[in-house]
Structure 1
């Protein structure tokens, strides 16, 4: 059997290394700009920006005893880029890269009081650098802060710095004080009034939906706590659950007809809301993003008020993972009991609920594959299960849900996929990194590997359980960190120069891969969405769509009725 497996693998031609460059010490994270021009690297002494065409350093921001563990990059302007980082002490920072210089713009969670040390758990930048969402933990409490970035002002200030540097022939900011960021909203876990239960007769009013479904979460949590009360380690588990009750959030673009999104002239590409779910919760919540008022007194009055969600999407089971489509119209949730729920923000209703029939299908990750769309009415998802199996789900409004097994459960733990991602510039193809360090491209249609990505014999894929890599969509390239193989007998010179390298795989160099290459969408709003000023406009569009699809729906109804008649005829006993 092993010989047969090796023979099968040998038929998959490898994709050899295109280029390589030595990385800074302890490079923990990589990111790539949307235009494909630059790479952002976080390492043990700060961060660096590299040019992707030459693999040379464009700028550094270095600080002793500081290690960057997370980095993101987005374009503020044509020549200005925003970087968001988290270091090993949980401090989040915002940088700007402009004219071959990295500038520190702001520290998100400044520790003024040592007794109230706040730690940033996650930090996400919105596309275009208008907002940043930081999950903050302090003394056991966890909350989400959405910050508004003065991007336009920062770009002007960066231009001023360039002018000053040219006039004074210097290389510093000359004491420039950057415009501060502001907190647009602070979101805490839903807090239900003590004594609120669902026991006894409970009449639900429309205005009580938020309280009702939030109370369902509370009752579920109480039920779990009662079950844990019989465990000797219940107290430790309870403390652990409280300390890890963080949230997952996604920025949302204008899409729906809900009151909070009824803007006369919505700014294209600017997020208007954020959707949030907390670990252990059944509910997906949507909060509007509102800029902080210029009046300082009004800001402090609003900051004391806890924001209320303007939308709530309840689910029958606990949420395990989530993903948002590029246009942010669709939100997919991986639920407990192998359920997948897809919500449509434009209609405010569920697009579909898919039950995975496969056994042992506990969902661990979910992802949209927008570039696989054959029809605008179809939604394609990639599901990764805890068992290591990978499934493809195709669903849509009025269409039959289809699930396909792309990769079976591996026979050993080394074959578990630690990272999987659809590749925007390769049609119906996704990238898989396994725990044993193997990297390959998988074809969705044939369900077979297209190419194996082979590092040089002197190196192995670094930290395969959490690979450090970035996909460059514009240059159709994969950047991934490789560490020197300790078993390779290297000379002292090779040992000195080859500790950790940036490995570059250019997919366009393979003739077989070329047939999969497509032009990816330039904007996350490739799928045009509608913003409605009134509910009447939304109803009119819905009725127009129904009128256009009447023939197709009648055909589907007739086919279903025919199948029911045939099934009924087969079940009827024959007359003797």
Structure 2
């Protein structure tokens, strides 16, 4: 590598490296540089890759300006599909701070941060149409290679290899369908006083089933909360002065995972495939709730609106970090109180709860 390497991702037999001036792909069989995407003003800071099959890979990269680049890598060449958060007015751009690809390349998620807000966008990638288009392009290239070989053999001795085509020529005639925005997930708002006129209105909202476990459907008035806060502050004033008062704000960072089918996420009438994600799990900084969203909603209905979680798992303490096993069956949640809970998503109950006795803050957790 001639430039500084910032990050890397492995997919199939290739290693993709994010450089200070673009991307590079290396073949793990012989460790040779097979392709490069050079961009003098684009420093790649994070990269994720997934194998689509048929020698096709999808890449999601983030540069130093927070742009999320979606690439397809096929026949040892890069094809830029779309910049997911590109806007005409640069002042309105929201930088991307986190990206996640599902293992099979069916879905992609990006976390965006504006000046005062943050949100999560989930895209459905048209994987099948990409593979079909790449297959057609491969057939056309092989025809061209055969034609060139025949003409070359009739005039001079030599061979024409497809790999000798310039990268721009391979990319020029390929147009892939853009990804589809499926869900927009926004952070939970602070819980405020009730907006219901009475218990009957609250019960109607609960029976509707539109909100599960986020705590908005209650009958506590603002005046009651203010009185409770005043009593609490007067009782524990010396401790609050030592610790400092933290004002509740809307969180600006989230951790999210693509989840395979399980009893928690799949209804009795849903048709699913065992290796394709059916939902995402999300938790926001400083929040107690692990929220699960199904991915079978219509993009037209959900993309532009605030999506409500289909399942909510409340925790005793704010969630500090989380991890999902490679089979997607087991979920680990670490709270800010240094308690680790392992959930079996297929059965829907916790397998173990471990509390670290010493005062420790868990920053990351992994399955081995």
Q: Secondary structure at the match of 1:25?
A: coil
Match of 1:329 in 2: 329
Deviations 1:11-37 (A, max 9, x none): xxxxxxxxxxxx23110001112x4x1
Match of 1:362 in 2: 361
**Structure 1 residues 214 and 250: CA distance shift in structure 2, 3 A:** farther
Q: Does 1:119 align with 2:95?
A: yes
Alignment of 1:524-535 (within 5 A): none
Q: Does 1:93 align with 2:93?
A: no
Alignment check: 8 A CA contact 1:323 1:332 kept: yes
Alignment check: 8 A CA contact 1:45 1:68 kept: yes
**Structure 1 residues 79 and 177: CA distance shift in structure 2, 3 A:** closer
**Structure 1 residues 312 and 121: CA distance shift in structure 2, 3 A:** same
Alignment check: 8 A CA contact 1:42 1:48 kept: yes
Alignment of 1:258-273 (within 5 A): 258=265, 260-263=266-269, 265-273=271-279
Count residues in correspondence.
323
Match of 2:281 in 1: 275
Alignment check: 8 A CA contact 2:15 2:28 kept: yes
Alignment check: 8 A CA contact 1:273 1:288 kept: yes
Match of 2:183 in 1: 185
C-alpha distance in structure 2 between counterparts of 1:141 and 1:24, whole Å: 39
- Measure how far apart 1:121 and its partner are: 0.6
Alignment of 1:388-537 (within 5 A): none
* Structure number with higher relative contact order (C-alpha < 8 Å, ≥ 6 residues apart): 1
Query: What residue ranges of structure 1 are gaps of 5+ in the alignment?
Result: 1-22, 294-298, 370-576
- Measure how far apart 1:135 and its partner are: 0.3
Alignment check: 8 A CA contact 1:161 1:173 kept: no
2:292 counterpart (268, 286, 311): 286
Match of 2:349 in 1: 349
**Structure 1 residues 248 and 238: CA distance shift in structure 2, 3 A:** same
Match of 1:108 in 2: 84
Query: What residue ranges of structure 2 are gaps of 5+ in the alignment?
Result: 146-164
Alignment of 1:46-57 (within 5 A): 46-57=22-33
Q: TM-score, structure 2 length as denominator?
A: 0.78
Q: Secondary structure at the match of 2:215?
A: helix
Q: Does 1:31 align with 2:9?
A: yes
Deviations 1:47-74 (A, max 9, x none): 0110112111111111111100101111
Deviations 1:376-412 (A, max 9, x none): xxxxxxxxxxxxxxxxxxxxxxxxxxxxxxxxxxxxx
**Structure 1 residues 302 and 360: CA distance shift in structure 2, 3 A:** closer
- Measure how far apart 1:172 and its partner are: 3.6
C-alpha distance in structure 2 between counterparts of 1:251 and 1:365, whole Å: 18
C-alpha distance in structure 2 between counterparts of 1:212 and 1:55, whole Å: 54
Q: Does 1:315 align with 2:321?
A: no
Alignment check: 8 A CA contact 2:184 2:305 kept: no
Alignment check: 8 A CA contact 2:3 2:20 kept: yes
Q: Secondary structure at the match of 1:28?
A: strand
Alignment check: 8 A CA contact 1:80 1:98 kept: yes
2:256 counterpart (249, 252, 259): 249
**Structural RMSD (CA):** 3.3
Alignment check: 8 A CA contact 1:334 1:366 kept: yes
**Structure 1 residues 118 and 257: CA distance shift in structure 2, 3 A:** closer
Q: Secondary structure at the match of 1:366?
A: coil
Deviations 1:336-385 (A, max 9, x none): 2221112222232222221123x23321211112xxxxxxxxxxxxxxxx
C-alpha distance in structure 2 between counterparts of 1:331 and 1:252, whole Å: 10
C-alpha distance in structure 2 between counterparts of 1:362 and 1:304, whole Å: 37
2:21 counterpart (32, 45, 57): 45
**Structure 1 residues 360 and 191: CA distance shift in structure 2, 3 A:** closer
